């Protein structure tokens, strides 16, 4: 309007602050990007998200060796764990519908995705739900703290039968007892 620059362009932010401003602005996108999705649509209708925490972990096996030393081997990836806090306001019927839907999803086995503007965390399932209402946010705003675990999907190994059992390749299925002569 009359050559007046928009507020965001008029202020020069340091790089980390500018990124934070954009992330906060994306909370108010219509439709909101942040949330829990199923099949590319929101699984829960919420008013916004305040927290997304994702924790990745792996473990390394250790075996004892001579002289009290350890040999490390076999790094194993663990399923990731995530927490997201969704907010829902509105009248009592809207809030109750949100809470009921969330409790149903806790008991459901369907795979969900956590969607943020910069990344999608797929193949998760809700494992915990906690509701908070406090005077800081207002008692009419439900804050749902949702815990999700990754469901690691294993690929099936296809084994083809041979015409003659002598032509079948040897399989290693673990430890076997030595044959006695």
Render pLDDT for 127-167 as a digit per residue (tens, 0 to 9). 999 988 877 767 788 999 999 999 998 877 776 666 666 66
Between 67 and 94, the higher pLDDT residue = 94
Specify the CATH architecture of the domain 14-62+71-150.
Answer: Beta Barrel (2.40)
Q: What are phi and psi of 91, to 5 degrees?
A: -75, 175
Residue 112 near residue 126, CB atoms below 8 Å? yes
Q: Would you call the peptide bond into 60 cis, given omega within 30 degrees of 0 as the criterion?
A: no
Render pLDDT for 80-136 as a digit per residue (tens, 0 to 9). 999 999 999 888 999 999 999 999 989 999 999 999 888 899 999 999 999 888 777
Domain layout of the chain by residue ranges:
14-62+71-150
pLDDT for 135 equals 77
pTM above the 0.85 mark? Answer: no
pLDDT for 10 equals 45
């Amino acid at each position: 309007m009359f050559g007046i620059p928009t507020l965001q362009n008029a202020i020069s932010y340091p790089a980390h602050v500018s990124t934070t401003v954009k992330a906060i602005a994306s909370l108010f996108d219509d439709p909101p990007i942040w949330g829990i999705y199923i099949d590319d649509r929101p699984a829960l209708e919420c008013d916004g998200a305040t927290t997304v925490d994702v924790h990745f972990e792996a473990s390394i096996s250790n075996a004892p060796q001579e002289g009290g030393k350890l040999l490390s081997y076999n790094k194993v990836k663990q399923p990731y764990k995530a927490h997201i806090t969704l907010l829902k306001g509105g009248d009592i019927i809207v809030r109750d519908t949100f809470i009921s839907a969330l409790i149903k999803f806790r008991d459901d086995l369907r795979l969900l995705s956590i969607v943020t503007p910069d990344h999608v965390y797929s193949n998760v399932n809700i494992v915990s739900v906690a509701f908070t209402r406090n005077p800081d946010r207002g008692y009419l705003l439900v804050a749902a703290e949702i815990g999700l675990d990754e469901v690691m999907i294993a690929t099936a190994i296809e084994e083809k039968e041979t015409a003659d059992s002598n032509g079948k390749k040897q399989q290693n299925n673990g430890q076997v007892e030595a044959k006695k002569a």
